[in-house]
Amino acid sequence: MKRILIIGLGMFFSALSFGQTAQTNTLDSLFTALYNKNAFNGNVLIADKGNVIFKKSYGLADEASKRKLNETTIFELASVSKQFTAMGILLLEKQGKLSYDDKISKYLPELAFYEGITIRNLVHHTGGLPDYMELFDEKWDKTKFVVNQDIVNEFAKHKPAIRFKPNEKFEYSNTGYAFLGLIVEKVAKKSFEAYLQENIFKPLKMNNTFVYRSRYKPMKVENYANGYVLDSLGNKVLPDSFGKKFYSYYLDGIVGDGMVNSTISDLLVWDRALYNEQFISKKGRDLLYQSTKTTDGKETNYGFGWFITDDAKYGKIVSHSGGWAGYSTFIERHLTNDKTIIVLQNNSLPTTRFPTKEIRMVVYNEPLLAEKKIQLQSEDLDNYLGVYGNENFPLKITISKKDNTLYAQATGQGEIPLDAYENDTFKFDPADITMVFNVKENTFELNQRGMKIVLKRE
C-alpha cells in the first residue's frame, strides 16, 4: 500500500513538474520572440502564491560594453514608484502624524489658493491639479535641476488653473504624487529616500531597492540597467545624449512620482509583504486596494498607488505600469488567485511591448492561440471614425483612416496605426493597446495593461 502511494505521489509530482516546465517553455518562447523583434529588453519574474515559476533576463544592461542583464540587475521603476509613496503616507497616518483628509495647504501653505484639495485627493488622483511637466517645459531655466519644492514654488508663482474641482473627476496626476513626496519629507522630518529606506526597504530586507536620482545625485551603482531610447536616426541611445535640457535630465531631482529603483526579486519581496499582517494590517491592506468615488458616484478604480480591476475571469487584480525615458515597467498582482507578474525593461522604444494578455493565459494554463489579423477595405473603416472621449479620462482619442488602415491619436500625442481583428477589434501591440468598438452604441472600450475604460463618440 505504501509503495502504491509513493508511486502515485511520484506520478503527481512528475505531472506537476511537467506542467511547470510547459509554462516555462511557453513563456521563454514568448519573450525570446519579442526580444528577437526588438520588442523586449528586460527582466521577467512570474510567481504563483509566492513561488517563482519563471524568472529570466533578456538583452543588455549596457549597450556600449555589451554587459548583459541578469536576475539581480537594478532598474528605475518610473511610476511603479507611486505605490511606495502611497505606502509612506499610509504609514505616517498609522503613526498619527497626518490625516488623509488634511488639506494640502497644512503642509504646503504656498498652495492655499488651491482650496479643498486633501491628501486623499492626491493619493487617488482626484485633486484636479495640472501636470507640472508642461509648466516647467515653458517656464523653467533648464540649466537647473528641479526638486519637489521647486514645483510648489512655481505653482505658487504662476498659479496654473485647476482642471476641475476636488473629487469631481479622476485624472492621473504626477503633480499630486510629487506633492505627496514632499509631504512625507515635511511630516517625517527627513528626506523621502531616508523615510522609505528606514520604514519599508530595510525592514523588508529589500536590499537592492532605494531612491536614486542618477543625474541629480550621481553615485556608483553596481549591476545597473542603463535606460535607452531611440534617436532621430533610429539608433538606441541614452537619454542624456539629448543634452541637459532634455526633460529626463533637469527633472531628475523630483521624488514621489518616480525614482525608486529595484529588482524583480525585491519586488516579489514587496508583493509578499503586502500579504503579511506583520507589515500591514488587514485594514491597511483593504485601504490600499479600495477605489474611491467621484462626486457623481463613479468609481476611480485607483487605490493607494494601485490601479484596481475586478476581472470576470481572473478575479481582483491590482497593477501599475511605469514609463520614463529609457524605462518601461509593470507589476500586476492577482489578489484572488495570488499570482504575481513583474516586468522591468530598460528600453522605451516604439516597438517595446508588454505581453500582459499572453502571460495571463500561460499562467492560467489557457491555450495560447494566435489571433489572426484581417484586412478591411477603406469603406469598412468609416463606421469607426470620429472623436471619442470620457469625462473621467484626460485625453480625447481621434480615430481616422489612411487607405485601408485605421489610426488612433490621443490629445497631444502622435497617431498610431491599428491592426484589425474580428469582432470590431483593433490593436496596437507595441503599447499593448486593444480597442473594441460597439458601432451601435458609438463607443469603444480601451484596454491597456489591465486598465479598461469606455469612450463615447462625440
Residue in 285, 303, 305, 271 with CA at minimum distance from that of residue 79: 305
In Å, how far from its chain's centre is CA 385?
Answer: 29
pLDDT in tens, 121-133: 999 999 999 999 9
Residues 352, 308 within the same domain: yes
Contact of 292 with 126, CB cutoff 8 Å: yes
| CA–CA dist 366, 396 (Å, integer) | 35
Report the SS3 class of residue 405.
strand
Report percent pLDDT > 90 for the chain.
81
Catalytic site residue from 79, 81, 265, 321: 79
In Å, how far from its chain's centre is CA 258?
Answer: 10
| CA–CA dist 258, 240 (Å, integer) | 18
296 C-beta neighbours (distance < 10 Å), count: 10
Number of domains in the chain: 2
Report the CATH number that the domain containing residue 327 is assigned in CATH.
Answer: 3.40.710.10
Written as nine digits, the cell of 339 is 499570482
Whether 323 maps to a domain, the answer reads yes
User: End of a domain among 305, 337, 363?
Assistant: 363
Find the helix or strand (DSSP H, E) in which 334 lies.
strand 327-334
Residue in 185, 29, 156, 178 with CA at minimum distance from that of residue 92: 185
Contacts of 362 (CB under 8 A, 6+ apart): 23, 26, 27, 30, 368
Written as nine digits, the cell of 362 is 500561460
Contact of 191 with 149, CB cutoff 8 Å: no
Residues 250, 341 within the same domain: yes
Residues 136, 277 within the same domain: yes
pLDDT in tens, 221-253: 999 999 999 998 889 999 999 999 999 999 999
Residues 300, 229 within the same domain: yes
Contacts of 348 (CB under 8 A, 6+ apart): 227, 228, 229, 323, 324, 325, 326, 327, 328
Residues 199, 168 within the same domain: yes
Whether 174 maps to a domain, the answer reads yes
| CA–CA dist 396, 451 (Å, integer) | 16
Contact of 56 with 44, CB cutoff 8 Å: yes
pLDDT in tens, 65-119: 999 999 999 999 999 999 999 999 999 999 999 999 999 999 999 999 999 999 9
Helices (H), 328-369: 356-363
User: What are the two backbone dihedrals, phi and then psi, of residue 306, each rounded to the nearest 5 degrees?
Assistant: -135, 130
User: What are the two backbone dihedrals, phi and then psi, of residue 282, each rounded to the nearest 5 degrees?
Assistant: -60, -40
pLDDT in tens, 334-387: 999 999 999 999 999 888 999 999 999 999 999 886 678 888 888 889 999 999
Q: pLDDT value at position 5? A: 38
Q: Look up residue 306 and give its DSSP letter.
A: -
**Domain range for 315:** 78-363
Q: Which amino acid is at 378?
A: S
User: End of a domain among 310, 336, 363?
Assistant: 363
Q: Is 65 a catalytic residue?
A: no
Written as nine digits, the cell of 290 is 479600495
Residues 252, 103 within the same domain: yes
pTM, two decimals, is: 0.83
Contact of 67 with 228, CB cutoff 8 Å: no
In Å, how far from its chain's centre is CA 164?
Answer: 24
Q: Look up residue 162 and give its DSSP letter.
A: P
| CA–CA dist 368, 360 (Å, integer) | 10
pLDDT in tens, 404-419: 899 999 887 788 899 9
